Amino acid sequence: MEIRVVEHLYRWSNWNVTAKSDEFVKKDSQTIEFRIPVKPDEEKTVTYTVHYSW
C-alpha cells in the first residue's frame, strides 16, 4: 500500500527543503508530494523542514 502526502508551501515561491524523513516529488512551484509505502496497520511519521527566502 502507498500513502500520498501532499503539502502546499504557500508562504512564498522561493523555498528549499533542508531536511526530510522521506523522498518527495516537486509537483509545481508550491506543492510537494511524498509517496510513502506502508504495510497494513503500520504507522509512519513524515517530517520535513522548509527554508523560505525573500
Cβ-based neighbours of 32, under 8 Å, separated by 6 or more: 6, 7, 9, 17, 24, 25, 26, 48
Domain that holds residue 15: 2-52
pLDDT of residue 9: 94
Q: Average of pLDDT values for 1-16?
A: 91
**The pairing of beta strand 15-20 with beta strand 2-8:** unpaired
Q: C-alpha grid cell for residue 22?
A: 522521506
pLDDT of residue 18: 97
CA distance 44 to 3: 10
The Cα 2–Cα 34 span in angstroms is 10
Query: Looking at residue 38, what is its pLDDT?
Result: 95
How many domains does the structure of the chain reveal?
Answer: 1
Tens-place pLDDT, residues 20-45:
999 999 999 999 999 999 999 999 99
pLDDT (tens digit per residue) in 9-19: 988 778 999 99
